[in-house]
């Protein structure tokens, strides 16, 4: 295996599973599709990595094509879940669209992987460029928007518009990926413009990530700062290579770019995704600012207790009502016996005693 094969295998085995675990859709149907694809990712990633292993030409066009096709099928399921999400749930912020674009770019990268294994060369491109395009979409195309969305979510806690800077930088990554792909197939000038836009966007994401990383735990801080430092050097090399190819001057070769720019891209994506994973946040679409639970976690319904009723207060002993006295004009006369008194028993006369 050469350097480009190793990079592509790392993108399939590490970058895609880590990035997909940090995405949560708000639509239930889209989330079910994403969960199904996430459960199939470990097996599909192994098959996709095996398709990269170089063998003879017959293996590459038969077994290698079948294995890469299975990887494409899982990536298509991820892309369908993203389309289902955007069709039913509209994000309230710009960074909410970035994970959707990342999933769609992953499908594009899987298509280029199948083209490379089938030895199909669009526009008579060199076979190494076809493979590098697959690498590019698995790394910068998939992980770049996710890292930008994560930085934007965390930067909301800071005063100012740092979150908007990270969100627009993520949008710049999306546009740069389109320009670079169009430049590879068509105009080299578009490739240079896309490389410059990509460099500026990723450097802005790295600056915002460094700004918030100092407020995170030590493990996440070290990983995110290392990731941000690596992208500066990687983007300088990318611009130098694109300009050299356009001006047809001497510069880094494809193999040199794989050994330098490619390794730095691995550090940028893997360390960045691992750092945000340690920070404990997920990219969640919608207007909710709190992280959503994992797909396999079930929410327990909350039961509302009825309000307690207070018993009626009994009157105090000293507050008992006193009996009403009769009015003065209603008092009985002295010679009249009260009506409610029983008559006294009559005593017999002396002569009547037996």
Please report, rounded to a whole number, the percentage of residues in the chain having pLDDT higher than 70.
76
At 289 the pLDDT is 37
| 192 domain-assigned | yes
Q: CA dist 243 to 167, 189, 199, 247, Å?
A: 27, 9, 13, 6
Asked if residue 163 has pLDDT above 90, the reply is: no
Tokens at 186, concatenated? 């068509």
| 109 domain-assigned | yes
Asked if residue 353 has pLDDT above 80, the reply is: no
Q: Which of 4-18, 45-59, 279-293 has the lowest mean pLDDT?
A: 279-293
User: Tokens 């992987």 correspond to what residue?
Assistant: 113
Phi, psi of 283 (to 5 degrees): -80, 115
| 266 domain-assigned | yes
Query: Which H/E stretch holds residue 327?
Result: none
The pLDDT of 94-119, averaged and rounded, is 91
| 264 domain-assigned | yes
Show the domain range for 125.
Answer: 3-282
Kindly indicate the confidence band of residue 297, based on its pLDDT and cuts at 50, 70 and 90: very low
Distance CA 165, CA 171 (A): 10
At 339 the pLDDT is 45
The pLDDT of 29-39, averaged and rounded, is 92
Kindly indicate the confidence band of residue 285, based on its pLDDT and cuts at 50, 70 and 90: very low
Task: Give the residue from 160, 289, 271 showing the smallest Cα distance to 219.
Answer: 271
| 328 domain-assigned | no
Q: Is the pTM of this model over 0.85?
A: no
Task: Give one DSSP letter per residue of 51-96, joined into a string.
Answer: HHS---HHHHHTHHHHHHHHHHHHHHHHHHHHHHHHHH---SSGGG
Phi, psi of 24 (to 5 degrees): -135, 125
Asked if residue 251 has pLDDT above 70, the reply is: no
At 95 the pLDDT is 85
- pLDDT digits over 221-242, tens only? 999 999 999 999 998 888 888 8
| 329 domain-assigned | no
Kindly indicate the confidence band of residue 59, based on its pLDDT and cuts at 50, 70 and 90: low
At 290 the pLDDT is 37
Q: Per the structure, how many domains does the chain have?
A: 1
Kindly indicate the confidence band of residue 348, based on its pLDDT and cuts at 50, 70 and 90: very low
The pLDDT of 193-212, averaged and rounded, is 90
| 233 domain-assigned | yes
| 295 domain-assigned | no
At 284 the pLDDT is 43
Tell me if 75 sits within 8 A of 110, measured CB to CB.
Answer: yes
């Amino acid at each position: 295996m050469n350097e480009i094969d190793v990079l592509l295998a790392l993108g399939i085995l590490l970058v895609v599973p880590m990035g997909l675990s940090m995405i949560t859709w708000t639509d239930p149907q889209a989330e079910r599709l994403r969960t199904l694809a996430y459960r199939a990712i470990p097996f599909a990633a192994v098959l996709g990595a095996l398709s990269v292993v170089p063998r003879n030409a017959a293996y590459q066009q038969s077994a290698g094509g079948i294995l890469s096709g299975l990887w494409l099928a899982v990536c298509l399921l991820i892309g369908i879940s993203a389309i289902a999400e955007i069709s039913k749930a509209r994000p309230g912020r710009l960074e909410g669209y970035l994970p959707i674009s990342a999933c769609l770019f992953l499908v594009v990268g899987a298509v280029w992987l199948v083209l490379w294994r089938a030895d199909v060369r669009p526009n008579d491109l060199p076979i190494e460029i076809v493979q590098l395009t697959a690498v590019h979409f698995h790394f910068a195309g998939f992980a770049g928007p996710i890292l930008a969305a994560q930085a934007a979510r965390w930067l909301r806690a800071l005063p100012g518009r740092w979150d908007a800077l990270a969100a627009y930088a993520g949008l710049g990554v999306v546009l740069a990926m389109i320009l670079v792909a169009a430049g590879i197939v068509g105009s080299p000038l578009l490739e240079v413009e896309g490389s410059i836009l990509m460099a500026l966007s990723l450097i802005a994401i790295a600056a915002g990530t460094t700004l918030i990383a100092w407020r995170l735990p030590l493990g996440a801080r070290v990983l995110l700062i290392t990731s941000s430092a690596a992208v500066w050097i990687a983007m300088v090399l990318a611009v130098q290579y694109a300009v050299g190819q356009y001006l047809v001057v001497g510069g880094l070769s494809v193999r040199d770019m794989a050994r330098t720019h490619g390794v730095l891209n691995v550090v940028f994506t893997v360390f960045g995704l691992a750092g945000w994973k340690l920070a404990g946040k997920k990219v969640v679409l919608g207007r909710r600012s709190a992280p959503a639970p994992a797909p396999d976690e079930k929410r327990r319904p909350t039961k509302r207790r009825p309000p307690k009723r207070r018993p009626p207060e009994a009157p105090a002993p000293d507050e008992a009502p006193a009996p009403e006295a009769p009015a003065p004009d209603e008092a009985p006369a002295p010679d009249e016996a009260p009506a409610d008194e029983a008559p006294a028993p009559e005593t017999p006369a002396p002569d009547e005693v037996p």
